Amino acid sequence: MIKVSNLSKKIGDVQALDDLSFTAEDGKITGLLGPNGAGKTTCLRTVFGLLKADTGKAEINGIDVAKSPIQAKQELGLFPDPFGLYERLTPREYISFFAELSGLNRQQAKEATSQVIHKLHLADIADRRCKGFSQGQRMKTALAQAIVHEPGNIILDEPTRGLDVMSTRVLRDLLQDLKTQGHCILFSSHVMQEVAALCDQVIVMANGKVVAKGSPDELCQQTGKASLEDAFIQLIGTDEGIAA
Amino acid sequence: MHKGKMNLSRLAPPIRRSLAALALMVSTATLISSAQAAPESTSNHAQFVTQPCYIDGLSERLQCGYITVPENPEQPNGKVIDVHFAVLPAIKNTHPQEALLAIAGGPGQSAIENAAGFDRMLNKVRQQRDILLIDQRGTGKSNLLQCEGEGFEGALAIDESTFNTAEETQKCLDTLTKDGTDVRQYGSINALHDFEAIRTHLGYSKLHIYGISYGTRMAQLYMRHYPQHLLTVTLDGVVPMQQSVIAIGDAIERGFDKLLQDCEANTLCQQQFPQLAVELSSVKADLAAQATISQVNDPLTGETTQLTMTLNKFLGALRMALYNPNVRALIPHAIHQAAQGNYQAIMGLYAMTIDSTGIAMGMHTSVVCGEDWQRISPEFRAQVTRSYFGKEMLSSFDQSCNVWQMPAAPADFSAAIDSDIPTLVLSGELDPATPPSWGEMAMEKLKNAKHFIAPYATHGVAYQSCGNDLIHQLVTQLSVETLDASCLDKDVSRNFYLNASTVEAVPANTVTNSTKETPSAGAQL
Amino acid sequence: MINRILTMVRKELIDAARDKRSVMAGLYYAIGTPLMMCGMFMMLISQLTSPDDLNIHIQNPDKAPDLVKFLASSGINNGASSETPGLKVKEIYLTIADDYPEQMAKGLRAEVTLVADNSNEKLQKSISRLKKQLQAYASEMGSLRLIARGIDPRVVQPLKVVVEDQATADSKGGIILGFAIFTMIYAVFISGMNLAIDTSAGERERNSLALLLSHPISTWQLVMSKIISVTIFAMLGLALILIVSKIAYAFVPWQELGFAVNINPSFMLVMLAVGFPVAIMAAATQLFVSFMAKSFKEAQSYLTIVLLLPAALALAASYDIAPDTLQWLPVSGQQQALMAYVKGREIPLVQLAVSSLATLGIALALTFGLERSLKSEKIVFGL
């Protein structure tokens, strides 16, 4: 479970987060939807303790990230944007490395890596260096890295950006899988379709604030619009920066 | 041993190139046979010390040390002596297990005191290998057996015929034995075992040896007793084992003959001194009849002093001049002047021989009396005494050896060396001490040796020619087969002095008194 | 905790080992520098030393045949008289005056004129050799002239100057060794540089830095692992240059210059020990600077400038003109201590300790700075 309470953060002169609060529950997929510049990435980085909030706090399974970053991060898996691959390592080395960083010992890391490679059908590229991988292969590798240590909470930053259709589908299936296994999944996106298709709960952000939250249906109801798209435009006042 | 004798034995040539010396003197010693069987090694008892040091003539830092050995190897608990050595470290030591042991002549010269000369001569070898110098027991720093002579003072005035060799020798022996020294322990064999002990202690598994003059005897003994530790040997100015050094009298005569021939064959010398042989004979005859006494300025102090010019001084001075090609060049002029009654040049040459303390006379006497004097036969004696030097020397050793009581070296001591170690034998055609025939004799049973005769060299070929390069080649190639001695034939002979100033042809119109450096006319304000 | 550092170090090393740029930079330097120096010195030696047979131009040789022969006996030949085609004759002219024989015969000074360019390094040795031989000839003649007049030549040599040179064969190679040591110390900086940039500025450029920091590791662990990795690389470079130097320098005929340049095992150990703190400092400096840079390229250009400082310190220290204070400073202190060691002098332990501690102090300070900067959002995200 990821809980964000009253987060505020100023970057330069911009109020990037403004009294932001929401909760992402276990066994649910929570979408952070907002136009570019709404503060999604800043929010996620704060959750990871990479940025310090001016006020408020972020908790992972009840652990304050700012106070106990190591323990908190132990419960997290991150699928970053961009992926941050090490091109000279093979996926197996890459995944295993981060597994160890997440607290597994070498042996465990190896086993977990093998499992996740199997799970994501990465076996054919697992021992090739990442250099020259297609976008889909990169995505899978990054994803494997995020879930190899089976964290209770998985955060995905714009996971479908630049993905082809097939990859996007794989990703969706996987997220559904993880959800049914009881993981808490939080992802940010500016693609409405994706959010609509996947999310149990949507948090709509604009200018660093939560402007609405609820299931896609609830949001439609709140705004009295038939489609999420309309609801969204209604919520943030514009459709700029949002992809259909 | 002093004076009279010293004049003969000081072989250290003038201008301090002293290595080229082979001393000779002799006297009659009683045969006390003992002490020839030295133990295999003295190393069990030896103590060993080494430290950085400086040696006269070399500015760089060397390693010096000594081992302490029993003076008499048969009495390991008796008196001990320190045998000193010095290592000229290789510039770039590519063969740390090897060293070149350079052995000095005399007998009685210190190898360490002559380090600068060895360093210059062996500089190519030293690029890659250590040079090991040892003060043989009784020389240099190794319990020096030096007899105090009268030195410089009075030396000009003395008439050697009044000199009592037996008495002086006894005085010397008494002085030397005061501290319990047993002069009979200072023969070559005991010294050889010291050398070997030092080799062992310094950790060299193999040695190259360079021996000059008497040093060649030590080198040959090394070949006989410890061949397994030798890689190569160079014998320069050889005293073959078969040869008693007392035979040097003939070699000296030969040296004088060579000089006269050289001058005759040289146009300039021949023109300037057409009667040289005659002049030499007449001076000898005059001085043999009576010494010439005159007032002179002392060569060193400049004070007025008496010079008693004896035949001994005259020939002794010339003989020592024969050792060095450059000093040798002055001899015709010196003889010519002497024939005119002017002994300035002779006195100058003689002065150079007076206090060159290169030879430890006590050690010298121990070696010659034990190893050379006792082996001579009546026929040999008759032959030797035909020459002036042979006669003088023999009579001198007859007296001093009698006092010294050295045990005779065993009979097989004088056997030819039978060896297949690569050996380079060098002789100088003009050598007034160890003529080429001696080198030939040394070759008798050497199965892997080459004998080269340097046509323009005197005593100590390696100092005067490319002999040093040959040594370097031998040490590097470990074979005499590939040695090319053609470089020895390069004409390095020197012009003779035509007057007291020049070696170049004197232009006919030279007026010796005028000087053209006189300032020419001009206003000097 | 240690495990995570080890994990990161292992990953860095694997990653770096596969990075041609990082490996080659170190390799080129560690292998190339000693080889280049050897080549240079072999050429220099052959040019600087006087040949065994030195051929010069002697003019008017028939006025002084004895002198000509004397020179020839020491290998200085009259090249003009030789008919050997292609003979190399040095541009050194010795002219014997026309009145040489007259002056000699009168016991006066005879004139010989030596014409040569003494600023030409290739000739200097040969010129001084010729001068020395002329001097030797003159003093020999002088002595014999005195002897001929019944005077002991020693009276005109009133001073006997005894020189005790404290140099050893090794220490005479001091300048060259100083430079050799400099190249070794510098190897520590060069070998780790690319890795340092790659693992800092490069890491950020690849967007993997944020990902790393999102994992449950502390910035301390991250900094330590990076410093350790770069240090290991630097030390590998140092070890490599030592080995290559040991092999390569053995082929240079140093002895012809009259000294030795020996890289022996004990020197190698001392070098590694003394170089270690420098390697740590180099790693910390390079990482610190690289993290400040926005990109790989920028980091490279910053570092090139920053590395001038240790280079200047070490180079200055390799010459004896260096002020004493240098022996207390980082890098130059180690350089001087190492030079003292090869020269067989006592190692200035106090100075070495001070400079090593200063080195470590700088490394520590930079490590703190690095750790702080990795907590800074600006540095991490380049905001």
Chain-chain contact of C11 with A93 (C-beta, under 8 angstroms): yes
Give DSSP secondary structure letters for C35-50.
Answer: HHHHHHHHHHHHHHSP
Average the pLDDT over A13-23 and give the result: 88
* Integer CA distances (angstroms), B392 to B107, B239, C211, C245, in order: 18, 20, 105, 65
Q: Which two tokens stand for residue B6?
A: 């010293």
What are the chain B neighbours of C146 within 8 Å (beta carbons)? Answer: 348
Subunits close to C (at least 3 CB pairs below 8 A): A, B
What are the chain B neighbours of C260 within 8 Å (beta carbons)? Answer: 91-93
pLDDT digits (tens, 9 = 90+) for C307-364: 888 888 888 877 666 677 787 888 888 888 888 887 777 788 888 899 999 999 999 9
Question: Per-residue pLDDT for B363 more than 80?
Answer: yes
Contact between residue B177 and residue B424 where contact means Cβ atoms under 8 Å apart: no
Contact between residue C15 and residue A86 where contact means Cβ atoms under 8 Å apart: yes
pLDDT digits (tens, 9 = 90+) for A104-119: 899 999 999 999 999 8
Chain-chain contact of B349 with C147 (C-beta, under 8 angstroms): yes
Q: Which two tokens stand for residue B340?
A: 């005119």
Chain-chain contact of C216 with A69 (C-beta, under 8 angstroms): yes
- C-alpha B349/C-alpha B341 separation (Å) is 16
Whole-number pLDDT of residue B45: 42
pLDDT digits (tens, 9 = 90+) for C78-137: 887 666 666 778 888 999 999 999 999 999 999 999 998 888 877 888 898 899 999 999
ipTM for this prediction: 0.88
Max CA separation in chain B (angstroms): 85
- The yes-or-no reply on A/B contact (3 CB pairs or more, < 8 Å) is no
- C-alpha B180/C-alpha B355 separation (Å) is 28
Whole-number pLDDT of residue B168: 83
- Of A143-157, A203-217, B36-50, give the lowest mean pLDDT range: B36-50
* Integer Rg of chain B from CA: 23
DSSP run (H or E) holding B234: strand B230-236
3-state helix, strand, coil in chain C (%, to 5): 70, 5, 25
Among A50-64, A149-163, B217-231, C32-46, which range has the highest average pLDDT?
B217-231
Closest C-chain CA to B62:
C168
- Looking at chain B, the whole-number percentage of residues with pLDDT higher than 90 is 46
Question: Per-residue pLDDT for B346 more than 90?
Answer: yes
Chain-chain contact of B497 with C259 (C-beta, under 8 angstroms): no
Distance from CA of C291 to the nearest CA of A (A): 16
Chain-chain contact of C152 with B299 (C-beta, under 8 angstroms): yes
- Residue A138 in contact with partner chain C when CB distance is under 8 A: no
Query: In whole numbers, what is the pLDDT of chain C averaged over residues?
Result: 85
Indicate the residue type of C247: I
Whole-number pLDDT of residue B14: 28
CA angle C310–C311–C313, rounded 5-degree value: 60
User: Which of A83, A85, A103 comes nearest C216 by C-beta?
Assistant: A103
- Of B236-240, B316-320, B464-468, give the lowest mean pLDDT range: B464-468
pLDDT digits (tens, 9 = 90+) for A120-165: 888 999 999 988 888 888 888 998 999 998 899 999 988 877 778 8
Distance from CA of A175 to the nearest CA of C (A): 20
The H helix count followed by the E strand count for chain B is 19, 11
Question: Per-residue pLDDT for B36 more than 60?
Answer: no
Contacts for B363 with CB less than 8 Å, ≥ 6 apart: B106, B107, B108, B136, B137, B138, B139, B144, B145, B186
- C-alpha C268/C-alpha C246 separation (Å) is 9
Q: Name the band, by pLDDT with cuts 50, 70 and 90, for residue C208.
A: confident
User: Which of C19, C209, C216 comes nearest A73 by C-beta?
Assistant: C216
Whole-number pLDDT of residue C49: 67
Q: For chain A, which domains are there?
A: 1-75+152-244 (3.40.50.300), 86-151 (1.10.40)
User: Which of C19, C210, C217 comes nearest A101 by C-beta?
Assistant: C217
- C-alpha B442/C-alpha B451 separation (Å) is 9
Whole-number pLDDT of residue A148: 92
CA angle B126–B127–B129, rounded 5-degree value: 50
Question: Per-residue pLDDT for B101 more than 90?
Answer: yes
Neighbours of C302 (CB within 10 A): 17
Collapsing DSSP states into helix, strand and coil, what is residue B263? helix
Distance from CA of B41 to the nearest CA of C (A): 33
Query: Which 20-79 residues of chain C touch chain B by CB within 8 A?
Result: 63-66, 69-70, 72-73
Query: Which 118-157 residues of chain C touch chain B by CB within 8 A?
Result: 140-141, 143-155
User: Which of C8, C209, C214 comes nearest A48 by C-beta?
Assistant: C214
Closest B-chain CA to C259:
B91
Give DSSP secondary structure letters for B333-399.
Answer: HHHHHHHTT--HHHHHHHHHHHS-----HHHHHHHHIIIIITT--HHHHHHHTTSHHHHHHHHHHHH
Chain-chain contact of C210 with A45 (C-beta, under 8 angstroms): yes
User: Which of C3, C210, C380 comes nearest A80 by C-beta?
Assistant: C210
Indicate the residue type of A44: L
Whole-number pLDDT of residue A195: 82
What are the chain B neighbours of C69 within 8 Å (beta carbons)? Answer: 491-495
Contact between residue A116 and residue A44 where contact means Cβ atoms under 8 Å apart: no
Q: Name the band, by pLDDT with cuts 50, 70 and 90, for residue B185.
A: very high
Closest C-chain CA to B517:
C108
Chain-chain contact of B59 with C164 (C-beta, under 8 angstroms): yes
Half-sphere exposure of C280 (CA within 13 A, CB side): 21
Contact between residue B287 and residue B311 where contact means Cβ atoms under 8 Å apart: yes
Query: Which 241-300 residues of chain C touch chain B by CB within 8 A?
Result: 253-256, 258-260, 262
What are the chain C neighbours of A91 within 8 Å (beta carbons)? Answer: none
Whole-number pLDDT of residue B517: 43
Chain-chain contact of B500 with C256 (C-beta, under 8 angstroms): no
Nearest to C334 by CA among C202, C212, C189: C189
Half-sphere exposure of A112 (CA within 13 A, CB side): 24
| Chosen CATH of B1-151+165-506 out of 3.40.50.300, 3.40.50.1820, 3.40.50.880, 2.40.70.10 | 3.40.50.1820
Chain-chain contact of A84 with C217 (C-beta, under 8 angstroms): no
What are the chain C neighbours of B90 within 8 Å (beta carbons)? Answer: 169
Indicate the residue type of B462: A
Question: Per-residue pLDDT for C22 more than 90?
Answer: no
Chain-chain contact of B503 with C149 (C-beta, under 8 angstroms): no
Average the pLDDT over B8-35 and give the result: 28
* Integer CA distances (angstroms), C283 to B498, C161, C189, C190, C199, in order: 78, 52, 8, 10, 11
- Beta strands A201-206 and C93-96, pairing class: unpaired
What are the chain C neighbours of A86 within 8 Å (beta carbons)? Answer: 11, 15, 206, 208
- Residue A209 in contact with partner chain C when CB distance is under 8 A: no
Interface B–C counts its CB contacts (< 8 A) at: 139
- Looking at chain A, the whole-number percentage of residues with pLDDT higher than 70 is 97
Nearest to C120 by CA among C112, C110, C128, C131: C128
Chain-chain contact of C206 with A76 (C-beta, under 8 angstroms): no
Domain ranges of chain B: 1-151+165-506
Average the pLDDT over B106-120 and give the result: 90
Query: In whole numbers, what is the pLDDT of chain A averaged over residues?
Result: 86
Neighbours of B406 (CB within 10 A): 27
Collapsing DSSP states into helix, strand and coil, what is residue C164? coil
Crossing angle of helices C265-292/C332-342, nearest 10°?
170
